Amino acid sequence: MNRIEAKFAKYKEIAAQINKNKNEFLEKAAKDKEELDREIKKIKRECQKHIKRLAKRRDEELEKGAHEYANYLVSMLNAGNNLTILC
């Protein structure tokens, strides 16, 4: 085998390895995409449920009146800022 044939054989091996790596990468990318799609759908469902709960809560509070709803909002803000030190 001469030098050119040896180089050609080496390049064919490199090309085969590249194709193998490409196929492995494409398979992994497809699996990762499916997993991410499932996670996104799960988060969207949770978000929709949360929005429905908030809308229901808002409607309940609005039935009580704007004053009660304002008190509810203030109490929610105070609950997050309630970091008092007891002496």
Q: Are 69 and 75 in contact (CB under 8 A)?
A: no
Q: Using pLDDT thresholds of 50, 70 and 90, give the confidence band for residue 37.
A: very high
pLDDT cut 90: percent of the chain above it: 43
pLDDT tens, position by position, 13-34: 999 999 899 999 999 999 999 9
Q: Encoding tokens for residue 45?
A: 């469902």
Q: CB of 73 within 8 A of CB of 65?
A: no
The per-residue pLDDT of the chain, averaged, comes to 84
Per this entry, what is the length of the chain? 87
CA distance 40 to 63: 34
Q: Which residues contact 58 (CB under 8 A, 6 or more apart)?
A: 69
pLDDT given for residue 87 in this prediction: 40
